[in-house]
Amino acid sequence: MKEVLERFKDARILVIGDLMTDLYIWGEAKRLSREAPVPVVHVEAEEYRLGGAANVANNVKALGAQVYLCGLVGYDDAAHHFRKAASEAGIATGGIFPVESWATTTKVRVMSREYRQQLLRLDYESPHAPGEENLASMRKYVESHIGHLDALIMSDYAKGLFSNEDFAREILSLATGGRLIVVVDSKSSHLHYYDRASVVTLSYSEAERFLRHRAERPPNGIVELGNRVREVVGSRSLLLVREEQGISLFVDAEETISSKIATQELLDTTGVRDTVVSAFALCLVAGADRKTAMMVTTRAAAKVASKVGTATVTLEELAEG
């Protein structure tokens, strides 16, 4: 594992997907409001973090690799804070394109500082898909970087970027044509886009929903579930993430590798899948065998799950064990 981690620094990965700004409002809730049965939060601090595909990129960067980020934001305050957070994390912003009449996807979480728990979440999203000129800019950016990359991560949160199937397939074709490792984190509604991906990542509940929408009989256990989804999608491998339990890798009908997320204190599963995708992609680039890749990935997931909110794991934390 040590040799694999040491090779992370040589990896060059481009992350394309739905960009988000995560705003954390920290405070104390000491009483209920007289106006309604809701807590009154005395705000003490506000903190902006990178979310969505940007959290994937942030994890790649924290693990020592070179990362490029591509996606869309609006012309709003959230975009300003997003760019600032990306720059502070050492992530280049050349592939981040602003869109007129587009709201930067923002998740506002009101947090109790005393209990380190979420009290409320507010979501801001753009109601429409990006235009062709925006997609063309991103396509050109990806195309210009293909020759210098080891892997491409497509982070599909179903927030609009990959609502255009042709665009998603074009990006995948660019990557596979360049012989890159392609790791996809997708919602079940878009799974049919990614049949040529190296690895597709999905949650257990989304995998069940995917089969149910196809009117197929319920699977008998997780092994059958994973193998059936992988066969239908057509990807080489499938990662099923059960955030508070573990991760299962399905490569073919004969081999399934499962690994438990072992953490002393499970505080928050926010962003765990982002960490899983980042760590697994880096392991593939580093040439790790499947068992080592799963060991590294679950260790990274456990480190993040023991933190509050959208978080990353560093190479030093992984090496500590």
User: Across the strands, what pairs with 120?
Assistant: 110
Establish whether 274 is a catalytic residue. yes
CA distance 268 to 261: 13
Closest among 60, 89, 7 to 278, alpha carbons compared? 60
Q: Packing angle between helix 272-285 and helix 290-305, nearest 10 degrees?
A: 150
Closest among 202, 194, 208, 293 to 236, alpha carbons compared? 194
CA distance 175 to 172: 5
User: Across the strands, what pairs with 256?
Assistant: 250
Q: How far is CA 164 from CA 68, 168, 193, in A?
A: 22, 7, 10
Helix (H, G, I), strand (E, B) or coil at 199: strand
Closest among 245, 249, 237 to 291, alpha carbons compared? 249
Q: How far is CA 262 from CA 132, 226, 279, 291, in A?
A: 44, 22, 16, 16
CA distance 248 to 235: 15
> Where do we find the tokens 């080592």?
292
Burial of 241 (0-12, 13-18, 19+ CB in 10 A): buried
Residue 158 per-residue DSSP state: S
End-to-end CA distance of the chain: 11
Catalytic position from the list 77, 150, 274, 289: 274
Tokens for 23, please give them: 């705003």
Residues composing the chain:
321
Q: Judge contact between 156 and 18, C-beta under 8 A.
A: yes
Q: Which residues are catalytic?
A: 274
